[in-house]
């Protein structure tokens, strides 16, 4: 079945450093969604990308969808301790099925 992979699995950064997580698929993706889950919390929707080469920004977060629609990235500029959590990319297929990637766990050292 369709699978999305994410790298890195874990990332530890000093507060103020930048952070990037990558989501990759061997097949063309119709869309990519990104979610954030804080420790002890539940996934919270961040963004959805559907167009080839699409770039969206939310304050310090920049999301990209690859030209071939086989990869996506989430970049955080100048990380803060509030950015701590696990970032999941996910693909929503037809029939409302959502497939989550394995996630990247971000730790921010103050």
Which residues would be at the binding site for other proteins (CB under 8 A)? 30-31, 33, 41-45, 48, 50, 88, 92, 95-103, 105
Name beta bridge partners: 98.
92
Nearer to other proteins, 77 or 105 (CB): 105
Measured from the CB atom, the residue of 18 and 93 that comes closer to other proteins is: 93
Query: In the complex, what is the shortest distance from the CB of residue 21 to other proteins, in angstroms, rounded to a whole number?
Result: 13
Q: How many CA atoms lie within 13 A of 50 on its CB side?
A: 3
Residues 44, 24: Cα–Cα separation, whole Å: 21
Nearer to other proteins, 50 or 55 (CB): 50
The nearest distance, CB 100 to other proteins, in angstroms, is: 4
Q: How far is CA 95 from CA 51, 91, 98, in A?
A: 20, 12, 9
- 3-state secondary structure at position 11: strand
Q: Is 26 left (phi over 0), alpha (psi -120 to 50) or beta?
A: alpha
Q: Which is nearer to other proteins, 41 or 53 (CB)?
A: 41
Smallest gap from Cβ 86 to other proteins, in A, equals 8
Cβ 16 to other proteins shortest distance, Å = 26
């Amino acid at each position: 079945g369709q699978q999305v992979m994410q790298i890195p699995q874990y990332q530890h950064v000093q507060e103020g450093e930048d952070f990037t997580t990558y989501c990759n698929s061997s097949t063309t993706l119709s869309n990519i969604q990104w979610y954030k889950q804080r420790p002890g919390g539940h996934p919270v929707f961040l963004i959805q990308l559907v167009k080839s080469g699409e770039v969206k920004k939310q304050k310090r977060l920049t999301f990209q969808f690859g030209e071939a629609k086989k990869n996506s990235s989430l970049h955080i500029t100048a990380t803060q301790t509030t950015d701590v959590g696990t970032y999941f990319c996910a693909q929503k297929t037809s029939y409302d099925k959502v497939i989550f990637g394995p996630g990247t766990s971000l730790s921010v050292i103050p």
